[in-house]
Amino acid sequence: MEARLNVFASPTASKALKHLTAVGKVVSDTGLPAATQELVKIRASQINGCGFCLDMHTKEAAAAGETSTRLNLVAAWREAKVFTEAERAALELTEEGTRLADAAGGVPDDVWANAAKHFDEEQLTGLVTLIALINSFNRLNVILQQPAGDYRPGQFG
């Protein structure tokens, strides 16, 4: 399988990806825990069917010390006992923020309130920004049919 476009050779794509990557660095500075960030990226990527991002973020999480049990249970986080209450709140917000078209009115107030119990304002800002960002990356990769399986941790710096 080959991608429809080679984003790594395109000057326009390089510029756009540079800015998206910069947003990711801003999110990292909000104090949102790194493990939570990876779980959010994985869950949104599962929902969106983005193999490229799943390949990347599961490998990055594993390289950072995440357990295979937790990685294997992200899709079933509601039934899994291996996630903290804060992680569960972040995963729920991720699902609601990713599936906006499935619910008229957007993210329910109770989902927001639950996340707000666990994260301060800067972390919430980072969480919402991260959800929007990973959804953007997912959409780019799915539209372009970016192949998965060859990612190496740290590949993009």
Q: What average pLDDT score do residues 6-32 get?
A: 94
Q: Does pTM surpass 0.75?
A: yes
pLDDT digits (tens, 9 = 90+) for 32-87: 999 999 999 999 999 999 999 999 999 999 999 999 999 999 999 999 999 999 99
Per DSSP, 95 falls in state H
Q: Which amino acid is at 9?
A: A
pLDDT digits (tens, 9 = 90+) for 98-130: 999 988 789 999 999 999 999 999 999 999 999
Per DSSP, 101 falls in state G
Spell out the domains of the chain, with CATH numbers in brackets: 45-144 (1.20.1290.10)
Residue 24: predicted pLDDT? 94
Q: SS3 for 5?
A: coil
| Tokens found for residue 10 | 């395109």
CA-based radius of gyration for the chain: 15
Residue 13: predicted pLDDT? 92
Residue 12's CB is within 10 A of a number of other CB atoms, namely 9
pLDDT digits (tens, 9 = 90+) for 128-139: 999 999 999 999
Contact status, residue 63 vs residue 154, Cβ threshold 8 Å: yes
Q: What average pLDDT score do residues 93-101 get?
A: 96
CA neighbor of 24 nearest in space, from 153, 134, 141, 156: 134
